[in-house]
């Protein structure tokens, strides 16, 4: 019953808990943000991810509902997007850097604070799984570039072309008009960050991306940086980021969100505070998007973004739920 109350509060007004994956539960801009402070029973298992990746949360749920661990769920969940060539900012089919190379960034973190990361990885479809191998098979946390790729082959990953016909054509078009400049595109928002809690109440997170389209060769964003694109503390909760990575790194964004929750803020309040800190330093800028997604130990979730259409997807025992969080930042 408590759980129902939470869900009702979370999606009040025009929103509805929906079974059909194509329906979106929208929050009105005027409504109170999603805060589940009333729930006393923890919500678990649960999977949440940035944007509307229903297949990813469904996969994570499949793992969680068969008593799988949060770590397995989060890895297998984001792998769905890495393999999806129609998602042009994650994994295979991701847009290349300005030299035409697809380079991937990803990280993963478990309940014990173990973490692994790969940056500037080429030719491998599932960077998150390589990141997990870094975490489990090496004494290190981050492997980069050629070394990361070599390590992946040693671990049995196959070499694969990541540029698709579609992204190659787009790249050729971009070269004609680009003046070789990186696109800071506010619509470039398909990075997946996912947070899961399993039936034991343990939390894990993962984040994976091809980064900013047509970035300078060698550029690495926030997504594979522990504390920036992702952070998990099993005592408190987890957070992940989407948007312009440089701004998230500057504020150590995901770590900040988790620390704010530790101090007593709800996931929603923490995400809002994180975005506001970034915006304070970027007054007047309209050309970028920053979003945070967070979950606390009780399974309460929140999200906030400098983008009116920010969505995150949640999967609980009741099935799919989409939340379009129109808590768009406005200067106070
Ligand atoms: C990056 N944060 O590389 C990523 C991009 C992103 O939604 O999240 N896009 O900066």
1 CA → ligand 1 middle, Å = 38
Least confident range of 36-45, 187-196, 271-280: 36-45
| Ligand 1 pocket, mutate which of 183, 222, 291 (most atoms under 8 A from CB) | 222
What's the pLDDT score for residue 179? 73
Residue 86 has pLDDT above 90, yes or no: yes
310 CA → ligand 1 middle, Å = 14
What's the pLDDT score for residue 68? 98
Residue 171 has pLDDT above 80, yes or no: yes
The predicted model gives 52-58 an average pLDDT of 93
**Highest mean pLDDT: which range of 20-24, 225-229, 279-283:** 225-229
Q: Do the beta carbons of residue 58 and residue 320 sit within 8 Å?
A: yes
pLDDT digits (tens, 9 = 90+) for 32-46: 444 444 557 899 999
37 CA → ligand 1 middle, Å = 30
| Ligand 1 pocket, mutate which of 190, 224, 242, 252 (most atoms under 8 A from CB) | 242
Residue 13 has pLDDT above 80, yes or no: no
Q: Do the beta carbons of residue 253 and residue 292 sit within 8 Å?
A: yes
pLDDT digits (tens, 9 = 90+) for 297-324: 999 999 998 877 778 898 888 777 888 7
What's the pLDDT score for residue 285? 74
Q: Do the beta carbons of residue 34 and residue 301 sit within 8 Å?
A: yes
Which fold does the domain 23-331 belong to in CATH?
Answer: 3.60.20
Pocket of ligand 1 (CB under 6 A): 89, 188-189, 191, 209, 211-212, 221-223, 242-245
**Quick one: what percent of the chain has pLDDT higher than 90?**
68
Domain boundaries, the chain: 23-331
- Of 270, 219, 281, 273, give the one whose Cα is nearest residue 247: 281
Atom number in ligand 1 closest to CA 193: 8
Q: What is the sign of the dihedral through the CA atoms of 263, 206, 11 and 247?
A: positive
| Ligand 1 pocket, mutate which of 212, 239, 288, 292 (most atoms under 8 A from CB) | 212
pLDDT digits (tens, 9 = 90+) for 215-225: 999 999 999 99
Provide the mean pLDDT of the chain. 85
What's the pLDDT score for residue 92? 97
* Largest distance between two CA atoms of the chain: 58
Least confident range of 7-11, 162-166, 323-327: 7-11
d(CA 291, CA 306) in angstroms, rounded, equals 6
pLDDT band at 27 (very low <50, low <70, confident <90, very high): very low
Q: How far apart are the first and last CA of the chain?
A: 37
Residue minimizing CA distance to atom 6 of ligand 1: 243
Residues tagged active-site = 191
pLDDT digits (tens, 9 = 90+) for 92-121: 999 999 999 999 999 999 999 999 999 999
Q: Do the beta carbons of residue 248 and residue 277 sit within 8 Å?
A: no
Atom number in ligand 1 closest to CA 89: 9
The phi, psi pair for 25, rounded to 5°, reads -85, 110
188 CA → ligand 1 middle, Å = 8
Atom number in ligand 1 closest to CA 219: 3
d(CA 275, CA 257) in angstroms, rounded, equals 10
């Amino acid at each position: 019953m408590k759980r129902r109350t939470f869900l009702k509060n979370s999606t009040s007004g025009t929103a509805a808990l929906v079974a059909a994956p194509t329906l979106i539960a929208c929050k009105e801009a005027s409504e109170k943000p999603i805060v589940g402070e009333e729930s006393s029973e923890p919500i678990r298992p649960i999977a949440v991810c940035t944007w509307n990746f229903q297949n990813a949360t469904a996969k994570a749920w499949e793992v969680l509902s068969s008593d799988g661990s949060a770590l397995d769920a989060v890895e297998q969940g984001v792998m769905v997007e890495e393999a999806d060539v129609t998602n042009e900012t994650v994994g295979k089919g991701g847009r290349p850097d300005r030299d035409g190379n697809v380079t991937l960034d990803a990280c993963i973190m478990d309940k014990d604070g173990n973490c692994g990361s790969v940056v500037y990885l080429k030719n491998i479809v599932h960077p998150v799984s390589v990141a997990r191998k870094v975490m489990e098979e090496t004494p290190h946390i981050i492997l980069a570039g050629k070394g990361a790729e070599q390590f992946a082959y040693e671990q049995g990953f196959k070499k694969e072309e990541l540029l698709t016909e579609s992204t190659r054509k787009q790249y050729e078009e971009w070269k004609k008009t680009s003046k070789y400049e990186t696109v800071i595109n506010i619509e470039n928002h398909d990075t997946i960050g996912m947070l899961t809690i399993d039936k034991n109440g343990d939390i894990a997170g993962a984040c994976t991306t091809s980064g900013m389209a047509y970035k300078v060769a060698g550029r690495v964003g926030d997504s594979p940086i522990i504390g920036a694109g992702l952070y998990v503390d099993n005592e408190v909760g987890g957070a992940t980021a989407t948007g312009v990575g440089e701004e998230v790194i500057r504020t150590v964004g995901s770590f900040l969100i988790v620390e704010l929750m530790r101090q007593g803020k709800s996931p929603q309040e923490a995400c809002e505070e994180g975005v506001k800190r970034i915006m304070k330093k970027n007054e007047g800028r309209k050309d970028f998007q920053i979003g945070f997604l967070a979950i606390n130990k009780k399974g309460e979730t929140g999200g906030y973004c400098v983008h009116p259409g920010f969505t995150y997807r949640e999967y609980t025992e009741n099935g799919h739920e989409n939340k379009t969080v129109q808590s768009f930042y406005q200067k106070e």
